[in-house]
Amino acid sequence: MTPTPTVPSTTVPPPFPARPRRRRRPLAAVALLAVAALTAACSNSTDSSGGSGGGGNQTLSGDCARYQPYAGHGGTTVTVFASILSPESDNLEKSWADFSRCTGIRISYEGSNDFESQLPVRVSGGNAPDFAIVPQPGLLAQMVKSGKVVKPPQQTVANQEKWSPVWKTYGSVNGTFYAAPMSANMKSLVWYSPKTFKQAGYEVPKTWADLMALSDRIAKAGGGAKPWCGGISSGTATGWPATDWLEEVVLGTYGGEVYDQWVNHQVKFSDPKIAAAMRTVADWMQNPAWVNGGYGDVKSIATTTFQDAGAPILTGKCLMLQQASFYKAQWPKDTKIGPDGDIFAFHLPAVDPSVPNPVEGGGEFLTAFASRPEVQAVQNYLSSADWASSRVRTATGWVSANQGVDKSLYTDPIDRLSADALTDPAATFRFDGSDLMPAAVGAGQEWKSLTAWFAEGQSIQKTGRGARRRAPPRGGGARPPPPPPPAPSSRLLPPARFHRPRGFAAAVRRVPSFGSARLPVALVPGIPASW
């Protein structure tokens, strides 16, 4: 490791001219500026390949024997770049510490809260990390388009069998599998207070009809409590929780196929199916008798931040909140979370009982930019159930949909709940739709239209039109081809068309108090057709 000075080191400064020229003294300050501008361009070369090379055919014994398949690359370093920051990233590093100790492969982790914009810059600048942990299929597709993503080794592909097949699709671009999922999170949860439910004699509903009946019962019981509370305010990203509600209802009403077509824009916002789903959302979250417990009327949903939304559950003014598993971070520190505690969650039932176990969520994908043997060894390890178990054991707040992970390892009840739903082979898992749509729709008009829908009571037709109307002028060379006709075989969304590094859910999960802080700078190609 040799620090290489990027500028020539100082030579002995030549003596000043004998005659002092006071008139020219101010030059110093100006020259200082000029040089500052020049030297600002200096880059750091921080790459370091530590240790002695070459492990050869080492044999691991004792504790380390289980890492034998990955042995033989001692003294090498593999770099990982991701958006996960300390302290969460410390758990990641702990989870592979044993692996590193035994195999001698050093995994150098770097987290950045500017990951989404930094990754494209680093990759196109020829400074790609060995691995990036990408939370958005859109960003993965963009990276694949750059031609720098390396296909996974055979073992990683085989490890993928432990995840339900839909995950492979989200890790694939144009039908080619590139990135193995590392983690999964679940959005289809309803937070409630088991204590309050018990006192009032309410049962956790198992079907949508039960849920609606329960809501009605709570509303009629009076006592100042309303069944639901909600908040969709989130800075520039205001509206995203409302898109989740719509997505849950679309997925739960029509199943995965229509959901994919909708995200894929084969079913439009103006479609009667989506309009019907919006009516379902309106009957649920815009029912004046049902919302917004502890805050006010329906419109107050638009001004309540999503972080605050669930607080009235603790005081009994509101009984339920639909929010993702990462909402756990919003409860006060001393809140007892569990089936018998102050707060717990249940799986949002399907609107149509014939849709098996709909789960909306997100995940993170391990994307490789190098094919060195040690990189592949790490890739194989991180895609294995062994690593997933190791990470689950390290600390709570991490769920894998890998069916090889022993569920008794989950010590946190919410993690366990999510894992049960995510690993259910019969579950209909789908990725958060607004994360998959092009930014102009998913992050632009859909957020805005749904916010206006809540804030101004805009009609469903107009909201649907608004969300659809946002098609910018199109044409041009670099534009992707128009969407393929709905082929019967490709039921799942090919995310390749969209190059939108967003993944709001992932961002929010990490920065619970300021979700909109991370705005990537990459550009999005046009939208193929009118949304």
Partner 1 sequence: MSLAAGAWGDAMVKFGNGLGAIAGFVGILLLVFLVAGRASGRIARPLAVLVLLGPALVLLLVGLVAPLVRTVYLSLYSDDSSRFVGGENFGWAFTTGSVREVLVNTLLWLVIAPLAATGLGLVLALLVDRMRGQAVYKSLIFMPMAISLVGASIIFKFVYESRDHSQRQIGLLSQLAIWLGWDDPPNWMLAQPLNTFLLMAVMVWVQTGFAMVVLSAAIKAIPDEVTEAARLDGAQGLRLFRHITVPMIRTTVVVVLTTVMITTLKAFDIVRTMTGGNFGTQVLANEMYSQSFVQFNTGRGSALAVILFLAVLPLVAYNILQLRKERAVR
Residues 20-59 that bind partner 1 (CB under 8 A): 21, 24, 26-28, 30-39, 42, 44-46, 48, 50
CA 158: distance to chain centroid?
24
Closest to partner 1 by CB, 13 vs 201, is: 13
309 vs 457: CA distance, rounded Å: 20
Is 224 a binding residue for partner 1 by CB under 8 A? The answer is yes
The DSSP H or E segment spanning 190 is: strand 189-192
Among 153-161, 201-209, 380-388, 437-445, which window interacts with partner 1 (CB under 8 A)? Answer: 437-445
Rounded to a whole number of angstroms, the minimum distance from the CB of residue 309 to partner 1 is 14
172 vs 186: CA distance, rounded Å: 20
Is 3 a binding residue for partner 1 by CB under 8 A? The answer is yes
Q: How far apart, in Å, are the Cα atoms of 121 and each of 306, 367, 368, 419, 526?
A: 32, 16, 16, 35, 21
Q: What is the dihedral of CA 370, 372, 373, 375, to 10 degrees?
A: -40
Which stretches does DSSP call E strand in 369-486? 428-431
Among 6-14, 156-164, 261-269, 331-339, which window interacts with partner 1 (CB under 8 A)? Answer: 6-14
Rounded to a whole number of angstroms, the minimum distance from the CB of residue 120 to partner 1 is 13
Closest to partner 1 by CB, 30 vs 487, is: 30
442 vs 423: CA distance, rounded Å: 27
Question: DSSP label at 23?
Answer: G
433 vs 489: CA distance, rounded Å: 20
Candidate list 62, 272, 473, 488; residue touching partner 1; CB under 8 A: 473
Rounded to a whole number of angstroms, the minimum distance from the CB of residue 449 to partner 1 is 11
Is 203 a binding residue for partner 1 by CB under 8 A? The answer is no
Candidate list 275, 452, 460, 517; residue touching partner 1; CB under 8 A: 452
Candidate list 76, 118, 330, 451; residue touching partner 1; CB under 8 A: 451
Q: Which of residues 118-137 bind partner 1 (CB under 8 A)?
A: none
Closest to partner 1 by CB, 62 vs 477, is: 477
Rounded to a whole number of angstroms, the minimum distance from the CB of residue 267 to partner 1 is 22
**In a 10 Å sphere around its CB, with 0-12 CB exposed, 13-18 middle and 19+ buried, how is residue 86 labelled?**
exposed
Write the DSSP string, 297-333.
STTHHHHSBTTTTTHHHHHTSEEEEE--GGGGGGS-T
Closest to partner 1 by CB, 186 vs 225, is: 225
Is 475 a binding residue for partner 1 by CB under 8 A? The answer is yes
Candidate list 55, 316, 413, 526; residue touching partner 1; CB under 8 A: 526
C-beta separation of 343 from 334 below 8 A: no
Rounded to a whole number of angstroms, the minimum distance from the CB of residue 26 to partner 1 is 7
Rounded to a whole number of angstroms, the minimum distance from the CB of residue 529 to partner 1 is 14
Token representation of residue 136 = 């958005």
Kindly report the number of other CB atoms within 10 A of residue 329's CB atom. Answer: 14
Candidate list 456, 486, 513, 529; residue touching partner 1; CB under 8 A: 456
Is 481 a binding residue for partner 1 by CB under 8 A? The answer is no
Rounded to a whole number of angstroms, the minimum distance from the CB of residue 156 to partner 1 is 25
Closest to partner 1 by CB, 276 vs 440, is: 440
Is 221 a binding residue for partner 1 by CB under 8 A? The answer is no
Count of helix runs (H) and strand runs (E) in the chain: 22, 12
Strand-pair partners of 11: none
Candidate list 440, 460, 511, 517; residue touching partner 1; CB under 8 A: 440
Closest to partner 1 by CB, 242 vs 258, is: 242
Q: Strand 428-431 and strand 358-368: pairing?
A: parallel
Picking from 505, 507, 514, the residue whose alpha carbon sits closest to that of residue 83 is: 507
Burial state string for 403-427 with b = 16 or more CB within 10 A and e = fewer than 16: bebeeebbebbbbbbbbbbbbbeeb
Is 265 a binding residue for partner 1 by CB under 8 A? The answer is no
Q: Strand 180-186 and strand 358-368: pairing?
A: antiparallel
Phi-psi region of 265 (alpha: psi -120 to 50; beta: other; left: phi over 0): left
Rounded to a whole number of angstroms, the minimum distance from the CB of residue 304 to partner 1 is 10
Is 299 a binding residue for partner 1 by CB under 8 A? The answer is yes
Site string for partner 1, 337-366 (x = CB under 8 A): ------------------------------
Candidate list 188, 233, 323, 380; residue touching partner 1; CB under 8 A: 233
Burial state string for 370-396 with b = 16 or more CB within 10 A and e = fewer than 16: beeebbbbbbbbbbbbbbbbbbbebbe
How many of the chain's residues bind partner 1 (CB under 8 A)? Answer: 83
Rounded to a whole number of angstroms, the minimum distance from the CB of residue 499 to partner 1 is 9
Rounded to a whole number of angstroms, the minimum distance from the CB of residue 266 to partner 1 is 22
Q: Which of residues 496-515 bind partner 1 (CB under 8 A)?
A: 500
239 vs 451: CA distance, rounded Å: 5
Q: Which of residues 61-120 bind partner 1 (CB under 8 A)?
A: 93, 100, 106, 108
432 vs 243: CA distance, rounded Å: 9
Among 233-241, 266-274, 275-283, 399-407, which window interacts with partner 1 (CB under 8 A)? Answer: 233-241
Closest to partner 1 by CB, 35 vs 213, is: 35
Candidate list 17, 62, 425, 485; residue touching partner 1; CB under 8 A: 17
Token representation of residue 459 = 């009609």
C-beta separation of 60 from 102 below 8 A: yes
Closest to partner 1 by CB, 222 vs 272, is: 222
Token representation of residue 70 = 């990955």
